[in-house]
Amino acid sequence: MTVSSNLIINNSNPFEGEVSIPGDKSITHRAIMISSLCNGKINISNALASDDCEHTINVFRELGVNIEIKEHMISVTGKGLTSLKKPNKKLYAGNSGTLMRIIAGILATQDFTSSISGDKSLNTRPMKRIEDPLKMFGANIISKNSMPPLSFKPSKSLKPISYASNLPSAQVKSCLIFAALFIDGASVITEKIKTRDHTERLLEYLEYPISIEDNAINIFGKKSFKCKDIVIPSDISSAAFFIVAALIRKDSKLVLKNIGINKLRIGLIEILIEMGANISVFNKSVICNESVADIEVQYSELKPINISGEKISRLIDELPILFIACAVCNGISEFHDIGELRFKESDRIKSMEEGLNVLGIKTSSTTNSLKIFGGSFNGGIVNSNNDHRVAMSFIVAGAISKKPITVLNTQNISTSFPNFKNTINGIGAEVYEV
């Protein structure tokens, strides 16, 4: 689906009903990548059909992997760790930082040359965070100012490493785990702060030899996987927009089905409950080594919040929509240690602060923090700066705005939630193209 560049939302009726959220983007990326390295066929169901995941599919097809798509089923037929082929052209990651950073670990360990670039936004995002540890493996990486495009040449000196990461980044961790798969011996990746662990969980599910002790991940290179079909849970980061929408629109009540509730991804729910949210999590189960549940949300009067440190890493993608919730609290909310937001699809601190100010919400910020003074939305025109999470956050704000909100440059919603407009309209919103 092609998403309109500009969307407008009017004050909405209460949100009611049951919502189907698409498959988890982070897990879909990783499932495609790992399945491509297995020796056999794996069917991936409830996979996210979005621009970002399509780029991952296209990249692995260029690397010689047979991938077929039928609705929300992806069938991947791999031929093992040593089967990837030299691509005939430069690989393209689009807007996907996840793809760019994680696949670098694979490309850096191959016996062929390759290069990968992204769109205008991705080509400005920092890659030194993966370049430095990959070079510790002995990888040969070439870039300009540690930004894409990235080029890789074969290395004859690859070796396992022990690496302690001070940056809480699941992308960096996964990049290094994938690199370690191709290198003889045991590598150890240690995190200072634990981040989402979908890569490790998928490897465990497919019975690859990996062990985890506290914050240390031990990976044994050049081993084999068991081929098992994978079911992707629905994406809690996409569900976040509907959770907040129901919480801030009076008389709303929503049920979201089959949501992934990985313990390292539920920071938003924990914070919202601390703020006074009426949220129930039920029908819990474990599918393909991931925790899944249904979530019921009802309108609640929320209290302001002050968060920092490790809590931030567990809701980094949900911060834009949490800012919207805090903007209508009675009081001042403070967010510290959020500097990583400046290196997302946009500078999310800047994008959200500018938009909130346009809508009548007072804020103040530093390089690493944001303070939000609660109030009400007056309507206006805000620019999402081509950032899907910023765009969807301000669309949710429009549901309770005194006057309509127009959100510019929303086309990148298709990177994570192509059917967002129809889904939110289906529960009572009035979002249309302009």
Q: Just list the catalytic residues.
A: 317
How many helices (H) and strands (E) would you count in the chain? 13, 24
User: Cα separations (Å) of 365 from 368, 370, 375?
Assistant: 8, 4, 17
3-state helix/strand/coil string of 222-280: CCCCCCCCEECCECHHHHHHHHHHHHHCCCCEEEEEEEECCCCCCHHHHHHHHCCCEEE
Q: Are 27 and 205 in contact (CB under 8 A)?
A: no
DSSP annotation of 417 reads -
- Which tokens belong to 240? 């976040």
CA gap 405, 314 in Å, rounded: 29
- The total number of residues shown for the chain amounts to 434
Rounded to the nearest 5 degrees, what angle is found at the Cα of 277, between the Cα atoms of 275 and 282?
130
CA gap 176, 187 in Å, rounded: 9
**H-helix or E-strand spanning residue 25:** helix 25-37
Give SS3 for 117. strand
DSSP annotation of 200 reads H
User: Cα separations (Å) of 194 from 236, 310, 379, 400?
Assistant: 18, 8, 39, 36
